[in-house]
Amino acid sequence: MNRKIFIFSLAIMLALTFGSTVQAAEYKTPAQLVTEAKSAVKEVNVDDLKKMLDTNENIVVLDIRDRDEYEKQHIPGAIHMSRGLVDLHVEEIIPDKNTKIVLY
């Protein structure tokens, strides 16, 4: 009886150890996530944005600063959206997935 309990306990410990090792390998570090995001996103500088706006390029400018900063001054035509809501509501504001979006 004790031997069965020991084998059963050992099997559970191995399953838990193996399971947590597999899960840990699936998670990425914050640095890895940032690197992946940066490789998928093109950064533009102020001059690039000005050219896009001057040539009426089809872009949407999202101002993700605090509301009071937006109200004090913002890029003409920019849409204010709180930083924490971008992921949740960007598709409502910009349904075309091919539209270029500039966040600042």
CB atoms within 10 A of CB 102: 19
Q: Which residues of the chain have pLDDT under 70?
A: 1-25
- Burial category of 23 from C-beta neighbours within 10 Å (exposed 0-12, middle 13-18, buried 19 and up): exposed
Retrieve residue 46's tokens: 């102020």
Residue 90 has what pLDDT?
Answer: 84
Residue 77 has what pLDDT?
Answer: 92
Q: What's this model's pTM, rounded to 2 decimal places?
A: 0.62
Residue 23 has what pLDDT?
Answer: 53
Q: Which residues contact 61 (CB under 8 A, 6 or more apart)?
A: 49, 53, 75, 77, 78, 79, 101, 102, 104
